[in-house]
Amino acid sequence: MKVTKFGGSSLASATQLEKVLNIVQSDPERHFVVVSAPGKRDGQDTKVTDALIKYYKEYISGKDVTASQEWIINRYQAMADELGFEAKSLTKIAKSIRDLANLPIEDNDFLYDTFLAAGEDNNAKLIAEYFSYKGLPARYVHPKKAGLLVSSEPGNARILPSSYDRIEELRNFDEVLVIPGFFGVTEDNQICTFSRGGSDITGSIIAAGVKADLYENFTDVDGIFAAHPGIIHKPHSISELTYREMRELAYAGFSVLHDEALLPAYRGRIPLVIKNTNNPSHPGTRIVLKHSGETLPVVGIAADDDFVSINISKYLMNREVGFGRKLLQILEELNIRWEHMPTGIDDVSVVLRGRELTPIKEEEILRQLNHNLEVDKAEIEHDLSIIMIVGENMKSHVGVAATATTALSQRNINLAMISQGASEVSVMFVVKTEQRNKALRALYDAFFRDEQSSQVAQ
């Protein structure tokens, strides 16, 4: 059995819905379909979820909501019209959209989530009806009925472990089950969403719950590219990645799949595949527990911006008991998360995301470092980017870091830092953001292009 999740762009129009139907119909193992809200039909369009946010804002500030309500209802209506069928669910859909504006505003922590969830919920109703109309028996299942119990954290729900047994019972249905993504229900019966883009999480949870053989995540690209296509000209797509490799790449900017979506499928030992609704015969990218054969030492190269480094030196730092703890305590007390901490003998840097700092926090950190920790030098460096080369097979290859540093030095790129975790799944380079593209190209050429094409790429 397969769990098949479709993202918003795959569900944006009648044409897309036809493709979705063909995909589901073409494989009887596709038994569970998880859907997002309708996405953008073109560059100028608005995602239904974003339209719901607008509607919510108008409602809580007492503005007229009629235009927003009608726009959203019409998105569903237009799809049914274009598909040429009289959807009975449309009356319910229209009512559910309008009823949002009767919900209490005061003391309602879940109001925003309830608005947002309506995008996926109504889409699932319409799609289930469309499938049945086209001769594919299908049933809409609300997350409450599916057993998706979540924590009471509005906008950031987490699945409760007790959910999985209930979800497993979904195996007993004969029809194709269409389940809205992105939200669950709390123990107090409130609608609570995952973070944005969270339909991927629902798909992963359902896959783990029903013990699927495969979790298929359909989007609008032929899988995951080995590097950012906006920087590298026509990068190749990766055919197979391990969960750990995916996690490392996602950390450093690969955003095809929601970060939190990997965990349930990984724990359930369910392989995942990212596929293209617009090109379903392409094999896509498989995400597996273990590589099935030989792979290159590096499978992908990711880059992410907006990093900051707090650089500290103090003579004989290595002899001072408790220095590291005191340093991290400064950050902890200011509620700052840090990411990496490369060290030397008398110096240490703490690398963090720029969004963690404010000018006031920076001043306070420097003040405490100078006064309380009595460092010789402390400075904060901005506009840094990280570049990560990722591959589980790196550990069995000699010279990967050397290949990378040689490639970077040949292009005159100044490395601010290098760091490799003990697991050797990735090596991270920190460079000035202005050198990020050049560095990424140098590394892509060094690991993936042969000599001739690397010259063409330059």
Provide the binding-site residues for ligand ASP, judged by CB under 6 A: 8, 36-37, 47, 49, 119-120, 181-182, 196-199
Place of tokens 């019209």: 81
Please provide the distance, in angstroms rounded to a whole number, between the alpha carbons at the two ends of the chain: 46
DSSP 110: T
Minimum distance of ligand ASP from residue 252's CB (angstroms): 21
310, containing H or E segment = strand 300-313
Nearer to ligand ASP, 183 or 429 (CB): 183
Nearer to ligand ASP, 120 or 129 (CB): 120
Position of minimal CB gap to ligand ASP: 199
Minimum distance of ligand ASP from residue 182's CB (angstroms): 4
Minimum distance of ligand ASP from residue 197's CB (angstroms): 4
- Check if the beta carbon of residue 237 is closer than 8 Å to that of residue 222: yes
- Tokens matching residue 124: 């699932």
- Check if the beta carbon of residue 364 is closer than 8 Å to that of residue 357: no
Minimum distance of ligand ASP from residue 258's CB (angstroms): 7
Nearest to 361 by CA among 352, 376, 374: 352
- Burial track 93-130 (b if 16+ CB lie within 10 A, e otherwise): bbeebeebbeeeeeeeebbbbbbbbbbbbbbbbbbbbb
One-letter amino acid at 417 equals M
Minimum distance of ligand ASP from residue 315's CB (angstroms): 50
Minimum distance of ligand ASP from residue 287's CB (angstroms): 18
Minimum distance of ligand ASP from residue 317's CB (angstroms): 45
32, containing H or E segment = strand 30-35
Nearer to ligand ASP, 154 or 342 (CB): 154
Nearer to ligand ASP, 181 or 297 (CB): 181
Nearer to ligand ASP, 179 or 417 (CB): 179
Cα separation, 304 vs 426, in Å, equals 14
Nearer to ligand ASP, 208 or 427 (CB): 208
- Tokens matching residue 40: 């953008």
DSSP 144-178: HHHT-BB-S-TTS--B-TTHHHHHHGGGG-SSEEE
